[in-house]
Amino acid sequence: MTEQDFLKSVQEHVMTIENDNATRLEWQPIETAPKGQRILVATEKGVPFFAKYIPPKTHEANTESSPDWADYDDVQDMYWCPEGWYMEVDCELCDICCRKYAGLPLTQWMPTPEVPE
């Protein structure tokens, strides 16, 4: 699945929730978003996607391909994911991978909707 396909599916999911009058999930200001948990966020252009805010030194970095992007802690001799927003992406190496988000400013968030049965 390409990133564009993924974003389109998330937009369709949000529209379905709104159109079905299911339990309404309200968008909230990004400043109130919880840290360290998977949520739905939206850019200033209204593009939604699943993401997680990673606080500093809380998520060990995968540096197999290149350690240059990660924060090195010489006391613990570990690489950490830099603090910030991470977009969930499909990955062949693990169930869920995250990629540091560096796009349009994020403005809103909502809890992750429950998966329909």
The alpha helices in the chain, defined as continuous H runs, are: 3-19
Give Cα 55 to chain centroid, integer Å. Answer: 13
Long-range contacts of 69-76 (CB under 8 A, 24+ apart): 69/100
Q: What is the pLDDT of residues 40-70, one digit of tens each?
A: 999 999 889 889 898 888 888 877 756 777 8
DSSP 8-state class, residue 20 = T
Only one residue has tokens 């969930």, namely: 88
Q: What is the pLDDT of residues 9-46, one digit of tens each?
A: 777 766 665 555 444 578 999 999 998 888 999 999 98
Structure tokens of 86?
């991470």
Side-chain half-sphere of 108: how many Cα atoms within 13 Å? 13
Higher pLDDT, 113 or 60: 60
Are 30 and 108 in contact by the 8 Å Cβ rule? The answer is: yes
Global pTM? 0.66
Backbone φ and ψ for 104, nearest 5 degrees, come out as: -60, 155
pLDDT at res. 19: 58
pLDDT at res. 42: 93
CB atoms within 10 A of CB 92: 5
Backbone φ and ψ for 68, nearest 5 degrees, come out as: -60, -30
pLDDT at res. 95: 47
pLDDT at res. 17: 59
Q: What is the pLDDT of residues 71-98, one digit of tens each?
A: 889 999 988 888 889 887 766 555 445 6
